[in-house]
């Protein structure tokens, strides 16, 4: 025990303790001696932003898997590089000419601009009846027949929607949906199940939106549980999905969320169907640039003319939701948009390289700073507690300071922090991003202390031997102590 405490003192590097600061030190010492953490790697760092005074640290230069606190890096970079008012367009275009018989001798294109929110229920006014509006705009051009097809163009982003370091088990589930240059409905589909007695097979009763050609291998069982224990296997562009695991007994319309295999094709298909419902005749079925290329068909190089444009919400509105509710898809879109902005290349590698260089240029020590995606879903990510605090410190001095701060959930009140620190000194005084994966827990953000000091902090734990909830409680104690500081 003495050795553990001695090591803790050396790592923490505290000096000039007040009584309350000593309480933080003691809490950290207890954490290092906790039997649940004997195999864990932990990093902690806290800095007084008003005085630039070091508050404390524990292995603060240790590079660890950060989970969703990586979204702080992504959203901060996007906000600084792209600006809070940036919007992303989706344009409806056509090629060819409309003849005297109202026939378009060409194609309709949906040109994706990398909008992560297109059709999202989070923005009902922004996208109200957007497919219908597109179809009506085409009809209003005086077109009643199309001697071509509807084509989805997602080429602003790479065809490889999924970051290469994501694991197979995540890809078919809604949180593993990858960024597409023409995303739609957050690239999420809803699958409704009916379950029966324990051990019985289940039935898939409904899938919406309807996804053409999608097939299911349903191996989900009825289980004695109150939670969704099902999971979905399937990669982008694959037209089959395997369902395994279990759902609660005797349920009707039990909803499970999955990823859409080909969002650009779904967008083209829906516009195609809407046009046909309006009586427009189309000579060929809907497709995408990718599909036509793979089938050896030319999508043509004719000049495209814009019929109408649907704009995304402002970037800051997207960032607010990304941080508040930890939306992986939005974060991955932002990472790709960073790549487009810096290198005109909408892929994960370009975005992560641009992000790393951005922070290097801001004098952040990038040793141990490994950015492999935007959301934190990749276990190849590595970041130190000190680096996260460095990002937070920079943003506290940015002209976008208030916008960034307001995007973070408030402890005990909102977003992913709504159940954190209720009834304690942290309640309403901590704005932070949380991160959770199997054997990973993290928090990073800002604390306003009792004497109104502003502290930036980060704490990350990997490979602990307790539940995620128990790890949360251990970390909560540290953050509450920060909020209780009075001197």
pLDDT tens digits along 435-486: 999 999 999 999 999 989 999 999 999 999 999 999 999 999 999 999 998 8
Q: Which two tokens stand for residue 477?
A: 């104690």
- Using H for helix, E for strand and C for coil, what is the string for the chain? CHHHHHHHHHHHCCCCCCHHHHHHHHHHHHHHHCHHHCCCEEEEEEEECCCCEEEEEECCCCCECCHHHHHHHHHHHHHHHHCCCCCCEEEEEECCEECCCCEEECCEEEECCCCCCCCCCCCCCCCCCHHHHHHHHHHCCCCCEECCCEEEECCCECCCCCCCCCCHHHHCEHHHCCCCCCCCHHHEEEEEEECCCCCCECEEEEEECCCCCCEEEECCEEECCCCCEEEEECCCCCCEEEEEEEEECCCCCEEEEEECCCHHHHHHHHHHHHHHHCCCEECCCCEEHHHHHHCCCCCCCCCCEEEEEEECCCHHHHHHHHHHHCCHHHHHHHHHHHHHHHHCCECHHHHHHHHHHHHHHCCCCCCCCECCCCCCCCCCCEECHHHHHHHHHHHHCCCCHHHHHHCCCECCCCHHHCCCCCCCCCCCCEEEEEEEECCEEEEEEEEECCCCCEEEEEEEEECCCCCHHHHHHHHHHHHHHHHCCCC
Per DSSP bridges, beta strands 203-208 and 188-194 are: antiparallel
For the chain, the domains span: 2-84+316-483, 87-313
How many CA atoms lie less than 13 Å away from 305 in the CB half-sphere?
10
Distances (CA, A) of 202 to 172, 219, 258, 352, 458: 19, 8, 17, 41, 43
Give the model's pLDDT for residue 27. 85
Nearest to 453 by CA among 484, 428, 477: 484
Distance CA 371, CA 369 (A): 6
Q: Are 259 and 189 in contact (CB under 8 A)?
A: yes
Residue 204 confidence (pLDDT)? 96
Say how far apart CA 485 and CA 362 lie, in whole Å.
30
Q: What is the pLDDT of residue 7?
A: 41
Q: From the DSSP assignment, how many helices (H) and strands (E) are in the chain?
A: 13, 21
Residue pointed to by tokens 């950015």: 371
Cα atoms in the 13 Å half-sphere on the side-chain side of 139: 16
Question: What's the whole-number average pLDDT of the chain?
Answer: 94
Give Cβ neighbours of residue 176 (< 8 Å, ≥ 6 apart). 162, 166, 170, 259, 328, 377
CATH classification code of 2-84+316-483: 3.40.710.10
Q: What percent of the chain has pLDDT over 70?
A: 95
pLDDT digits (tens, 9 = 90+) for 81-137: 999 999 999 999 999 999 999 999 999 999 999 999 999 999 999 999 999 999 999
Q: Answer whether 119's CB lies under 8 Å from 184's CB.
A: yes
Residues in the chain with pLDDT < 50?
A: 1-20
- Strand ranges (E), 260-375: 281-282, 287-288, 305-311
Neighbours of 301 (CB within 10 A): 7
Enclosing H/E stretch for 245: strand 240-248
Question: 87-313 adopts what CATH topology?
Answer: 3.50.80
Q: List beta partners, residue 339.
A: none
pLDDT score recorded for residue 327: 98
- Classified as helix, coil or strand, 229 is strand
pLDDT value, residue 487 = 67
Could you give the CA distance from residue 484 to residue 482 in angstroms, rounded to a whole number? 5
- Write out 429-458 in H/E/C secondary structure: CEEEEEEEECCEEEEEEEEECCCCCEEEEE
- How would DSSP label each residue in 55-84? EEEESTT--B--GGGHHHHHHHHHHHHH-T
Q: HSE, CB side, 13 Å, CA atoms: give it for residue 154.
A: 32
For tokens 């601009």, the residue is 113
- pLDDT at residue 292, rounded to an integer: 96
- Phi first, then psi, for residue 410 (nearest 5°) are -105, 130
pTM of the predicted model as reported, rounded to 2 decimal places:
0.94
């Amino acid at each position: 025990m003495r050795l553990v405490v001695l090591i803790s003192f050396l790592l923490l590097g505290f000096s000039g303790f007040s009584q309350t600061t000593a309480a933080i030190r003691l809490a950290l010492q207890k954490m290092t001696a906790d039997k649940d953490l004997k195999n864990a790697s932990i990093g902690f760092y806290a800095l007084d932003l008003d005085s630039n005074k070091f508050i404390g640290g524990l292995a603060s230069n240790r590079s660890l898997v950060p989970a969703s606190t990586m979204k702080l890096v992504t959203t901060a970079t996007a906000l600084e590089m792209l600006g809070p008012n940036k919007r992303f367009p989706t344009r409806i275009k056509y090629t060819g000419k409309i003849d005297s018989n109202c026939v378009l001798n060409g194609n309709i294109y949906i040109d994706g601009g990398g909008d992560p929110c297109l059709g999202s229920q989070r923005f009902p006014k922004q996208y109200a009846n957007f497919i219908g509006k597109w179809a009506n705009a085409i009809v209003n051009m005086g077109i009643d027949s199309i001697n071509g097809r509807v084509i989805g163009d997602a080429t602003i982003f790479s065809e490889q929607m999924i970051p290469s370091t994501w694991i197979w088990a995540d890809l078919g589930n809604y949180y593993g949906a990858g960024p597409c240059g023409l995303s739609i409905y957050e690239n999420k589909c809803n699958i409704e199940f009916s379950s029966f007695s324990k051990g019985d097979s289940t039935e898939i009763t409904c899938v919406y939106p309807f996804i053409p050609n999608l097939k299911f291998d349903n191996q989900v069982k009825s289980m004695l549980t109150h939670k969704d224990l099902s999971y979905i296997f399937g990669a982008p562009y694959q037209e089959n999905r395997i369902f395994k695991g279990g759902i609660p007994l005797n349920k009707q319309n039990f909803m499970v969320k999955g990823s859409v295999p080909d969002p650009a094709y779904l967008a083209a298909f829906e516009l195609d169907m809407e046009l046909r419902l309006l009586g427009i005749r189309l000579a060929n079925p809907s497709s995408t640039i990718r599909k036509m290329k793979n089938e050896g068909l030319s999508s043509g190089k004719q000049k495209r003319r814009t019929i109408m444009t649907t704009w995304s919400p402002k970037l800051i509105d997207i960032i607010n939701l990304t941080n508040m509710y930890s939306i992986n898809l939005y974060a991955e879109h932002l990472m790709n948009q960073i790549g487009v902005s810096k290198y005109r290349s909408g892929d994960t590698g370009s975005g992560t390289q641009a992000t790393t260089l951005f922070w290097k240029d801001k004098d952040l020590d990038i040793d141990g700073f490994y950015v492999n995606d935007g959301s934190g879903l990749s276990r190849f990510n590595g970041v130190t507690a000190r680096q996260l605090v460095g990002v937070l410190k920079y943003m506290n001095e940015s002209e976008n300071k208030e916008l960034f701060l307001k995007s973070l959930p408030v402890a005990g009140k909102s977003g992913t922090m709504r159940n954190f620190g209720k009834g304690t000194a942290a309640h309403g005084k901590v704005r932070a991003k949380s991160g959770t994966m199997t054997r990973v827990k993290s928090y990073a953000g800002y604390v306003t202390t009792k004497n109104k000091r502003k502290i930036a902090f980060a704490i990350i734990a990997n490979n602990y031997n307790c539940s995620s909830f128990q790890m949360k409680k251990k970390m909560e104690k540290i953050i509450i102590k920060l909020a209780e500081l009075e001197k």
